[in-house]
Amino acid sequence: MSLIVAFAAALGLTGCNADPTPVAAPVKSFSLAKYSGKWYEILRLPHDFEENLQGVTAEYRVNADGTMEVTNRGYNTEDGEWQTAIGKAKPIKGMTAAFDVTFFWPFYGGYYVSWLDKDYQYAIVTSDSHDYFWLLARSPKVPQDVIDLAIANANQWGFDTDQILRVQHPAGPNN
């Protein structure tokens, strides 16, 4: 339950966001079907809701109404257990690769796919503030050039790159 509340807080508890204000513009070309599936969190800015979490993944499933179900999981090294939060992402009208995400209705936050490789193997996700930045990948192992590109983009977009953390993905049955 604490992870669910934390993810709601992470998205700013902005309520229904009428005017999205992405820090970095979402990509122009985007396929929800190709984006769906499991992603590993590779880099992130620190947040209370992800403190002590490693092995963090996000899984996106497309719903019949065009929204996505979002399942975030991470292993809490302090508690010694897996934590899960399930939310919903609805597309923002008039924008591609842009969603309002909630893990605790009625609070929503912006979720913008701001960079995506052509094969949908790597993605950078930003939000409505410089507090949220993630590099996601289809595998927990990512080439250094992709990490360098993510850091360069973060720097260009005004993020505090000195604060970016590398997420650990220990070997195991859940990774």
Does 46 fall in a domain?
yes
Position 129 scores a pLDDT of 93
- Output the domain CATH number for residue 6: 2.40.128.20
Running DSSP on this structure, what letter comes out for residue 105?
A: T
pLDDT, mean of residues 139-158: 98
Does 174 fall in a domain?
no
Question: Confidence class of residue 5 from pLDDT cuts 50, 70 and 90?
Answer: very low
Taking the C-alpha atoms of residue 92 and residue 101, their distance in angstroms, rounded to an integer, is: 10
Q: How far is CA 146 from the centre of its chain?
A: 16
Asked if the model's pLDDT at residue 13 lies above 60, the reply is no
**Cβ contact 149:124 at 8 Å:** no
| pLDDT tens figures, 58-88 | 999 999 999 999 999 999 999 999 999 999 9
Q: State how many domains the chain has.
A: 1
Does 171 fall in a domain?
no
Does 62 fall in a domain?
yes
Asked if the model's pLDDT at residue 144 lies above 70, the reply is yes
Q: Domain range holding 133?
A: 2-166
Does 94 fall in a domain?
yes
Asked if the model's pLDDT at residue 1 lies above 50, the reply is no
Asked if the model's pLDDT at residue 96 lies above 80, the reply is yes
Does 16 fall in a domain?
yes
Taking the C-alpha atoms of residue 145 and residue 9, their distance in angstroms, rounded to an integer, is: 32
Phi/psi at 163 (5° precision) = -90, -10
pLDDT, mean of residues 158-175: 86
**11-15, 28-32, 44-48, 143-147: the lowest-pLDDT one:** 11-15
Does 35 fall in a domain?
yes
Q: What is the pTM of this model?
A: 0.87
